[in-house]
Amino acid sequence: METLHTKKNIRHLTLTELEQYFQTLGEAAFRARQVYEWIWQKHAGSFEAMTNLSKSLRQTLAEHFSFPALQIDATQYSADGTIKSRFRTHEGHLVEGVLIPTDERRTACVSSQIGCSLSCKFCATGYMEKKRNLDYDEIYDEVALLNEQSEKMFEKRLSNIVFMGMGEPLLNYRNVLKAIERISSPVGLGMSPRRITVSTAGVAKMIRQLGDDQVKFKLALSLHAANDKKRNEIMPINETNNIKALTEALNYFYQKTGAEITLEYILFKDFNDSLKDADELVKIYRQIPADLVNIIEYNPIEAAKFAKPDEATIRKFMDYLAKNRVNARLRVSRGKDIDAACGQLANKN
């Protein structure tokens, strides 16, 4: 008998391919539509869950195809309502996702890779080895499972999705775009792409590709330092994708898509929190058609030496941005007590 590794993943078949398969079985074409709906719309986790198919047909599917769905391995609940889930892949890799509820929103923060290859100095995931990219159906599973959690805990569906978990989404380009296509499809979760934000550490070539592909979702750039010298220190990717290249790529992206752009900037004590740093950030903001700058408070991790600035320094920084007409918002991190906040995801219990 074929093993999981040699059987084709049924979720990697198009509807047309499923219809062709059911034809070879002598089954009615509508069966393919039923299976497709079970996979994507109803988010079945196994063939057994497809209850309007006969038992023998479910067994036939299981003999011919694999169904390597993500499973929730562990769940942690923060005092502030944030829920962190650790997912297990079919071969035992672990990856994390977070559900962040507020009065108006329920946001899923999802991962795109198992580990990360970029080694950003302030991020716990950056200290992990990159194992592999997540497949588009696994990314879809993260969103669907967090949506189920949201419906169960808060009696409301997800309102927003951010690709700000583990990994660099633009280094898993094809799977991320395909997952978003499924998430926003009517035969899927039916979410508007305008409620989805993909966050990148800055891969200029792929930002331009997003423009060429005329994507509809929002883009966030993790800037975190407003000059190349400092950015090189904390984000090695800047050595091959400097601020000038990113500025040009973001302008190209906006010209092609008109989609919203956000700049993300974590404040680190005595590193990028001076008024000179704020002034450099203002200059970059004026070169990019960004709607918003998210100023993020730093969440400490064991591996890094950075600290959060004091409240007075943060206030001065924010005031300087406001005085220079920068649309900036201070983002308070959620889920710190369970290592679920920005930069803390590392598969720890």
Asked whether 20 and 33 are in contact (CB, 8 A), the reply is no
**What sign for the dihedral angle of Cα 266, 271, 275, 277?**
negative
Cα–Cα distance, 278 to 320 (Å, whole number): 7
96 a catalytic residue: yes
Selected catalytic residue, list 96, 142, 168, 264 = 96
342 a catalytic residue: yes
Query: Residue 58: how many CB atoms within 10 A of its CB?
Result: 17
Cα–Cα distance, 277 to 286 (Å, whole number): 14
Phi/psi at 223 (nearest 5 deg)? -85, -60
Selected catalytic residue, list 109, 116, 120, 342 = 342
Q: Where are the beta strands (DSSP E) in 54-172?
A: 65-66, 71-77, 83-88, 94-101, 106-109, 113-114, 132-133, 160-163
User: Which residues does 30 contact at the CB level (< 8 Å), separation at least 6?
Assistant: none
Whole-angstrom CA distances from 336 to 202, 284, 297, 339 are 25, 30, 11, 5
Reference 243, options 219, 224, 227; nearest CA is: 227
- For residue 245, what are its two tokens? 């290249």
Q: Where are the beta strands (DSSP E) in the chain?
A: 8-9, 65-66, 71-77, 83-88, 94-101, 106-109, 113-114, 132-133, 160-163, 196-200, 218-222, 261-267, 292-297, 328-331
CB-count exposure of residue 217 (10 Å: 0-12, 13-18, 19+): buried
**Any idea which residues carry the catalytic annotation?**
96, 342
